[in-house]
Amino acid sequence: QLLLALPYDTPVPGYRNNTVNTMRLWSARAPNDFNLRDFNVGDYIQAVLDRNLAENISRVLYPNDNFFEGKELRLKQEYFVVAATLQDIIRRFKASKFGRTALNDTHPAMAIPELMRIFVDIEKLPWSKAWLLTTQTFAYTNHTVLPEALERWPVDLVEKLLPRHLQIIYEINQRHLDHIAALFPNDVERLRRMSLIEEGGTKRINMAHLCIVGSHAVNGVAKIHSEIVRTQVFKDFAELEPGKFQNKTNGITPRRWLLLCNPGLAELIAEKIGEDYVKDLSQLAKLHAFVDDDLFIREVSKVKQENKVKFALFLEKEYKVKINPSSMFDVHVKRIHEYKRQLMNCLHIITMYNRIRRDPAKLFVPRTVIIGGKAAPGYHMAKMIIKLINAVAHVVNSDPAVGSKLKVIFLENYRVSLAEKVIPATDLSEQISTAGTEASGTGNMKFMLNGALTIGTMDGANVEMAEEAGEENLFIFGMRVEDVAELDRRGYNAREYYEKLPELKQAVDQIQSGFFSPQQPELFKDVVNMLFHHDRFKVFADYEAYVKCQEKVSELYLDAKAWTRMAVRNIAASGKFSSDRTIKEYARDIWAVEPSDVRIPPPNEPRDGA
């Protein structure tokens, strides 16, 4: 199949440095003389239809998150962008020298055999020279440890679509296995574990293994994740080449996630410590000096309140629900996935609801719980979770016994532009994945920078946030990675927790009995069945610790000044989580490129001859 790749360049301006980079995306087009033979023999219709086949390649993005679906069109897309990009890079390389390419996850893994094909078949380099160049060119960043997310392409499909690449992958694998066999004679089991080809049933290519073998560096995206990558997921490879494995903790851009979305807070910070922090976020540490400054604390609190009032008005307009702007805004926004445990939050909402109804006179710290995120189109359980949240919201929001004490909103069509509105208005950030499942997370960092407090497990970048701010300035609860492993060894029995914890039992029974879906009492039976019989993410095991931790949250919220002081300690500790720091580390440790401090004059200033 012959294709044209048409480049579309999006300018990416730097911040006040007179530099604009381009992000190049590719559109698939049929060449103009495409299928002229068909056209000439009178099959005009087929010729036009065939143009569509070519142009379908860049028509739609597969919307799955943390899930691999081995579709032929997806493999075509991956090869299409890899082939176009490498031709482009080599064209520019021949015009001027530069190197190194990052593999962001395994999606561009076909770049490894493709570059080998170019070197060996087209440029006529010997294999050993080609392989050295290839491994020095690529670096692999891993983004997930969930097994269902790892790309494992069927050999038959690759053979059908890319037969030469399959030959090259086989050759790479043969040399790789010969090397291991020489180091570990007679260790057949090790060879099986480390092969790029998985035997048994459908033969598959393990793309992560291809990336590790074909790259000079491999990294995870938070300390705990990189440790899991090194000691568990790719243990054999790390034993073979320990120097290849690194950590690069993710970061966020303070230009969008503070200046642009929260100008009130950004201005307040600038008044105290100057404007340089925007380009050097570590300077936020200077705010520690103002934790006891009552005027500053009041001003931070005022900015938060203004953001909340603004967002409450937006919610009332969009969702026709009356919001109490002085209630705690408890926010859980991220893609809907079982491992992120929106269900645990849902059980807490039901528990709060039951407590209010049981004792309406008792002091209750008012909350507006906001849950938002998208489910992949084919992910049935994620869609049922959204359905459940909405069903619970309907019951809670229309119960007069509850009034303004508790409101629940499901934010539909969650996206960056909506995140920019909700994050500055948040009091409590929910980061409650099962320990060892969230590679890093970045929403957690955005909330921290915007003066929200975090309730979370010791997972992903939460661990480093607690390290930076002090664990006493986050609401950390639940099992650690070791506890989860120990529970797996013992065997997780959900019913044990259900029988032991009356409030959990009540909440689950309500879901099961149709209390939240009286029209369809059976509606959530799949959800309940999953929670009891195949919950890989152990919601019930962390429920009690979560609810108790939430009680501590409510207690602190009653003391507005203490709450805001803790928020300021968090803001002051968030400097590490700038993407500027992340990119500097990639540049220094992986790409081997030096930062340039050459001042580029603006367009209106004359440039010298150079």
Residues classed as catalytic: 143, 334-335, 340, 442, 446
Distance of CA 447 to the CA centre of its chain: 15
Q: Are 202 and 154 in contact (CB under 8 A)?
A: yes
Smallest CA-to-CA distance from 139 within 175, 108, 113 is with 108
Eight-state DSSP code of residue 199: -
Q: Residue holding tokens 């029995």? A: 493
Could you write out the three-class secondary structure of 95-128?
A: HCCCCCEEEECCCCCCHHHHHHHHHHHHCCCCHH
- Please give the single-letter amino acid code of residue 527: V
Which H helix or E strand runs over 298? helix 294-319
Q: Are 475 and 453 in contact (CB under 8 A)?
A: yes
Task: Provide φ and ψ at 350, rounded to 5°.
Answer: -65, -40
Q: What angle do CA 212, 217, 218 make, to 5 degrees?
A: 60
Q: Are 436 and 460 in contact (CB under 8 A)?
A: no
**Cβ atoms within 10 Å of 462's Cβ, excluding its own:** 28
- What b/e string do you get for 514-534 counting C-beta neighbours within 10 Å, with b at 16 or more? bbbbeeeeebbeebeebbeee
Q: Residue holding tokens 């409590």? A: 428
Output the six-digit token pair for 599. Answer: 């001042």
Which H helix or E strand runs over 431? strand 428-431
Smallest CA-to-CA distance from 311 within 285, 330, 288 is with 330
Smallest CA-to-CA distance from 570 within 476, 496, 469, 439 is with 469
What is the number of alpha carbons within 13 Å of residue 467 lying toward its C-beta? 13
- One DSSP character per residue, 521-550 reads TTTTHHHHHHHHH--TT-HHHHHHHHHHHH
Q: Which long-range contacts (CB under 8 A, 24 or more apart) does 356-364 make?
A: 356/401, 356/402, 356/405, 356/406, 357/399, 357/401, 357/402, 360/401, 364/405, 364/406
Output the six-digit token pair for 331. Answer: 């926010």
Eight-state DSSP code of residue 405: G
**What region does 198 belong to: left with phi over 0, alpha with psi -120 to 50, or beta?**
beta
**Cβ atoms within 10 Å of 266's Cβ, excluding its own:** 22
Cβ-in-10-Å burial (0-12, 13-18, 19+) of 261 comes to buried
Report how far residue 53's alpha carbon sits from residue 273's, in angstroms, rounded to the nearest whole number.
Answer: 57
> What is the chain's length?
610
Q: Residue holding tokens 């936020």? A: 284
Output the six-digit token pair for 323. Answer: 């919001």
Report how far residue 174's alpha carbon sits from residue 195's, in angstroms, rounded to the nearest whole number.
Answer: 9
